[in-house]
Amino acid sequence: HSLDPSPYYKDMAYFAAASQKGRGRTHYDTVVKLLAVCAQERSTYSRYNLTSINAESVCKIGGTFKQKKCVPQQGKVRWLCHSTVSYSHRIAVEAYDCGCNDRSFVA
């Protein structure tokens, strides 16, 4: 159950990190696996609100970012999108290998 860390998926993760920079957050821990992008082109990135990603992926608890050990969720897929975006335009992530640890993305 692995995924090749292609630049395309890495770009998505760094975009999520960069979206935090404007809110005074330049770093968060995650081992999220980005499985699929249900958008047609990269320009649609700006339409997504990746700051609302769930705790399994980003360790965001009560508006703050903390260390959090997550229970593995193998096979479960989380759909993350802005509330104003069409349901068919979604970004899928797999949280089975979560558990925030020393792996991180820095904006």
pTM, full prediction: 0.18
Mean pLDDT of 6-17: 46
Q: Please tell me the predicted confidence (pLDDT) of residue 54.
A: 38
What percentage of the chain exceeds 70 in pLDDT?
Answer: 0
How far apart (Å, rounded) are the C-alpha atoms in residues 60 and 55? 5
- Determine the residue type at 33: K
Q: What is the pLDDT of residues 26-48, one digit of tens each?
A: 333 333 333 223 233 333 444 44
Report the 10 Å Cβ neighbour count for 27: 12
Mean pLDDT of 12-37: 39
Average pLDDT in the chain: 37
Q: What is the DSSP string of 44-76?
A: GGGG--GGG--HHHH-EETTEE---PPPP-TT-
Delimit the domains of the chain by residue range. 7-102
